[in-house]
Chain A
Amino acid sequence: MNKKACYLLILSVLLIYGIQACNSTSDDSAEPDIPETVSYNFDIRPILSDKCFTCHGPDGNKREAGLRLDNEESAFRALKDNPGAHALVAGKPDLSEVFIRISSKDTAVLMPPPSSNLKLTVREIGLIEKWIKQGAKYEKHWSFTAPKKAPLPEVDDKDWIRNEIDHFILAKMESRGLSPNKEAGKEFLLKRLSLDLTGLPPGIDLMDSFLADKSQDAYEKIVNRLLNSPAYGEKMALYWLDIARFADSHGYQDDSYRSQWPWRDWVIYSFNKNMPYDQFVTMQLAGDLMPNASKEQILATGFNRNHKITEEGGVVDEEYRVQYVIDRTNTFSKALIGVTMECAQCHDHKYDPFSQKDYFKLYAFFNNVREVGLESDVGGPETYAKTPFIEISNDEVKKILKFINKRDTNRLIVSVMGEKDTLRKTYILKRGAYDAPDQEVEPGTPASILDFDKNYPQNRLGLSKWLFDKRNPLTARVFVNQIWQEIFGRGLVKTAGDMGMQGELPSHPELLDWLAVDFMDHGWNIKRLIKQIVSSATYRQSAVISSDKLKSDPENIFLSRAPRYRIKAELIRDIVLSSSGLLVKTIGGPSVKPYQPQGLWENATSGRGILRTYKQDHGEDLYRRGMYTFIKRTVPPPVMGVFDASNRDQCEVSRLKTNTPLQALIMMNDPAVLEASRVLATRLDTEPAQINEKLIKAFRLIVCRKPSEKEIRLLTEYYKDQLNIFSRQKIRAEKLLAVGEAPFPDKMDKIRVAAMMQVVTALYNLEETITKS
């Protein structure tokens, strides 16, 4: 292709996708026309917020010309610099300075100014014009008003509906001329459910029994069974560990060991016993402040001590102590109320109605911990937790904290929350700098979300009460959205960590609100919420993507098909171990160190601390679920990172889902995968079955469905070819089999096993294997 043609191609591609991109944030993506009635929340605020609020928004220090467009009263007032003119004149775009300036050809008056690198599109200007014509009505930001249950929308295809969720999803589909996919086949449904609810593949027995079960409630029985499996708690914990930035090292320079894993055991245990969300979070935020706090309640507060803690000699203590408080404040905001409060650390928020004072009021709740910035340099077991910490005795594990999987008699300490005896004063920090205290503030919450009730104690317990006050507009929405994201791969609000003005708008606002209210009305019952979602017809659709749907809804925003996406890093490992029979299903306990390429820790270490060398585990510890793989923050497990796992540096509420060549290399060459292939091949070889049956079994164990004839033919072909190759070169078979520490039984036919191993490895490398479809 010559340069010019290429240029044209790119240009046209840009144009096409450019148009789609402009629409993808609006409620009306197939239809680029300007809507009949322009909505402030859905059409206008996203533009103002993204393009105007930086200079004409909540941040008082950066406000230009005294004009504030995020606030109705101020926007209609006469202009400070030109009292004869108004930014907005209802009904009259030509008299509204906003419209005059955004549509001007004169770059001296044009807004946004060219120097800002921001530009309004023709459609955006058109929207603003129409909005002004229609009266320039403001609305409160959607997520800052409490959710209400709207009546279930009417739909045409009533037969499709299985529960309330489907009303909302189908109504939207129908309004856009889409119709749902048919229900997925039972094998697909089972793999999907099993991965979503337990993170493990279903196994042949479960597949067979589900396929054989023709009863009406077969699906429900499977859902219940999986929800009651102990692996459910592990699967849910994995999501929570990202939010809680859980890791096995302190982070920062020397990055030595911390023994925080009993907190993880508690998380698994709590999900498994279906602890209501309000209680689950309250214990983590304020367990230590509860009357007669139990050891379990205190352990739960480890949540707020999972952040990085420095052991670098020579730091300024206060700089780091402040950093820890900041981390807690930011984690609280992002994880639990879905707002980017962190933007207000150094200045008033540029987009959302949070002042810097609001930030430090929230910060004040977390600022009274009995802690220091640098407690100690790298050292022995006494440094594995930092003050305040609790010690967990063997006796307690035996009697009260039975869920802790303590495997030795060594002293066990865990960092937790604990208040100082005296009150540490909190100041607004100028520019967010630890050494620039300004005005003193008291603990409090942003009034723009919900006032802090005077009857609440001004501590973390009070903060929890505020959080779970049913009038709080964010808490339930944020959690329901996170769970939706876990199951559909994309939240109803795509930016799960930002429901503020710069966040994306909900694709189905009424559904989000309905689910949020319903969740609160039913006692914050997590299993119930999940069951509701996976029981919907929406969830049960097939994941087939027709070319029409790919064109009209490429991102599957309207859910006229089930989502199809690659599973999380940890679950890839789980599938490999589980299908091969290697998985050790022990729950909880300290993290483990499976195979890892040599030298990663050694080449990057400062040479201090017990994590300077990687001491790989052996035996059962090689075969634990991915969520137990040891995370050293500065050198996290490489396989996990390549598959987009969090490095646990800070709170994360959603992961990317990339598709890269390094992932291919891992699936082809990682000894963990190859060993599993060998073990499964060995197992199959000992079974008295035809080769055809063995291949089918391997396929079912790994891909979780029966193969097609064509698939079996290809696999058989490959098997025979490999058999032939290895027969001629037995030494190669021997080399291939020499992977991993799992024993290789005597008297096996190495040629046959090696050939089967190649087939199994190919199955692990199938796209479908590590994809939820």
Chain B
Amino acid sequence: MEKDFLEHGLNFNRRRFLSRLSLGLGSVALGSLLVPDIFNGDSSDSGWVPGIPHFAPKAKRVIYLFQNGAPSQLELFDYKPRLRDLMGQDLPDSVRRGQRLTGMTANQTSFPMVGSFVDFKQYGDSRSWISDLLPHTARVVDDICIIRSMYTEAINHDPALTFFQTGAQQGNRPSMGSWLSYGLGSENKNLPSFTVLLSKGRQGNNQGVYSKLWSSGFLDSVHQGVQFSSGDDPVLYLKDPDGMNKQERRKFLDHLSQLNQISYEEFGDPEISTKIQQYEMAYRMQTAVPDIMDLSKEPDDIIKLYGSDSMIPGTFAANCLLARKLSENGVRFVQLYHQGWDHHGNLPNDIASQAKEVDQASAALITDLKQRGLLDETLVIWGGEFGRTNYSQGKWTAGNYGRDHHPRCFSIWMAGGGIKPGISYGETDEFGYNIVKDPVHVHDFQATILNQLGLNHEKLVFKHLGRRYRLTDVSGKVINDILA
């Protein structure tokens, strides 16, 4: 059976893919994905297949802690004392330089600059500036690389999120996780290679997430992100109905397989054998997934590390812990989304609460991966879809103000996976409005991630309707300065 499946799987799917791909790349990627056994007899072997990866990978897996709604860089990572001095003064046109504004502030008659309500201090050997809102992150500052010079092209949430995840603001393109699943396949035959975890802040303005963000676009739907949730059914339809148990499910599958086998003998269609095999994988997932989702066996020191929230299913902290487990078990790309950073008003209060919810667990994830020796091969990313303005949206006081969307500069951090630890990269001007050194475009960021996984972003392409598409669309360069 296993052999049949291998032959047919290779046969059918390879031919289907090859007709759309430049030979060498996709053909191999595909194999590792559908037939993980022969291509990945042991997980440390992933990536030795000729053609893919394009060069030796630094990272094997990615955990992306997406901060949905756009956290303000000015209250978290980008220290701008001068803004406090300029409190209330109008943003000079010489600084704004015609930057387009969103409809929310376009009609504002003045743009009063506001400094951060919270103080910053320097931490670690790197002496990086971190705000008082992130005391735990401050402790791991020597393990992370802060990029203060990210910029994007979009100024609204939907297109900006879509741009970060798919490399284009519009259009049904594959998500970053789908590209990696497609390029590198799976390390664990019982789990999907791309999983998604959602959480939202207890306060603040939610912006929604969209399952199109983890869509596989024109790639095969095996590369689609699979949402894991904390409820009764961690993966949709995973749980057997009441009245059914493991033993009965096995019996069911055995009968089903015999019936399907009759059909195979009649039709000779390799898809039937593949179908039988897919049921077997589903069966394996039914055991593997709940095992992973079960956080009850985590030792106390781990719970303490991630914080007590990590025991409450569906919180960001619980998802961080889960992300570590999934990643540890070979899930190629774990995508978290945490909603609630869209602080157009009431920013000081809301961002403080939001930061508190994510700070400890984000830092814990780094510490945890490091103590397990996994940080070297796991790339962790923390950041939102754009930044926030240095001027207040609407009325302001020193203790209460809001910030609008700002695409021209914002901060994110990356850690592990061959990224240089303990550095800050890029600089913004004293107003925190424009980048003055080492700008990093979203496509540069994406090119760098692929690079760390051993993939050349210009070569990881898929031909669809006459065009070779890639995650980085038509631009992007690897940021070599942040590579270890």
Contact = CB atoms under 8 A, between A and B. Distances in A.
Interface in B214-250: 215, 220-222, 224, 226, 229, 231, 233, 235-244, 248-249
Interface string A634-651: 111010011010010110
Contact of A497 (B105, B236, B249, B465): B465
Interface string B244-271: 1000110110011011101100111111
B15 A767 contact: no
A79 B256 CA distance: 67
B244 A736 contact: yes
Interface residues of B, number: 98
Interface string A594-611: 000111000111110000
A351 interface: yes
Contact of A17 (B18, B100, B158, B272): B18
Contact of A343 (B279, B405, B466): B466
Interface in B1-29: 10-12, 14-16, 18-19, 21-24, 27-28
Contacts, number: 284
Nearest to B17: A21
A254 B220 CA distance: 28
Given A20-B15, A117-B459, A634-B210, A603 B241 contact: no
A554 B206 CA distance: 50
A340 B465 contact: yes
Nearest to B342: A606
B333 to A, nearest CB: 17
B213 to A, nearest CB: 9
B426 to A, nearest CB: 25
A1 B35 CA distance: 14
Contacts of A670: 237
A739 interface: yes
A216 interface: no
Interface stretch (A34-42, A100-108, A710-718): A710-718
Given A9-B38, A554-B12, A767 B272 contact: yes
A667 to B, nearest CB: 9
Contacts of A649: 171-172, 212
Nearest to B104: A314
A315 B102 contact: yes
Interface in A10-53: 10-11, 13-14, 17-18, 20-22, 24-25
Interface string A693-726: 0000000000000001011001101100100010
B278 A660 contact: yes
B235 to A, nearest CB: 7
Contact of B251 (A544, A633, A721): A721
B282 to A, nearest CB: 4
Interface in A320-376: 323, 334, 340, 343, 350-352, 374
Contacts of B275: 659, 664, 767
A498 B465 contact: yes
B370 to A, nearest CB: 30
B157 interface: yes
Interface stretch (A193-201, A618-626, A727-735): A727-735
Contact of B239 (A316, A564, A669): A669
B427 to A, nearest CB: 28
A431 B468 CA distance: 19
A97 interface: no
A310 B243 contact: no
Contact of A661 (B41, B209, B278): B278
A313 interface: yes
A566 B271 contact: yes
Nearest to A669: B237
Contact of B15 (A24, A255, A543): A24
Contacts of A552: none
A604 B48 contact: no
B313 to A, nearest CB: 12
A312 B229 contact: no
Contacts of A633: 210, 212
Given A11-B50, A317-B103, A768-B263, A544 B268 contact: yes
A7 B50 contact: yes
Interface string A665-680: 1101111001000000
A736 B259 contact: no
B274 interface: yes
Contacts of B259: 711, 714-715, 762, 766
5 A-B pairs with least C-beta separation: A502-B466, A736-B243, A21-B18, A735-B243, A634-B210
Interface of A: 1, 3, 6-7, 9-11, 13-14, 17-18, 20-22, 24-25, 117-119, 252-255, 310, 312-317, 323, 334, 340, 343, 350-352, 374, 435, 494-495, 497-498, 500-504, 543-547, 550, 554-555, 564-566, 597-599, 603-607, 633-636, 638, 641-642, 644, 647, 649-650, 656, 658-666, 668-671, 674, 708, 710-711, 714-715, 717-718, 721, 725, 732-739, 754, 758, 761-762, 765-768, 771, 773
8 contacts: A314-B103, A315-B103, A498-B465, A603-B229, A736-B243, A739-B241, A762-B259, A766-B256
Given A310-B158, A633-B210, 13 more contacts: A9-B38, A10-B28, A24-B15, A352-B466, A564-B271, A605-B206, A634-B211, A635-B211, A641-B221, A644-B221, A647-B172, A659-B275, A668-B237
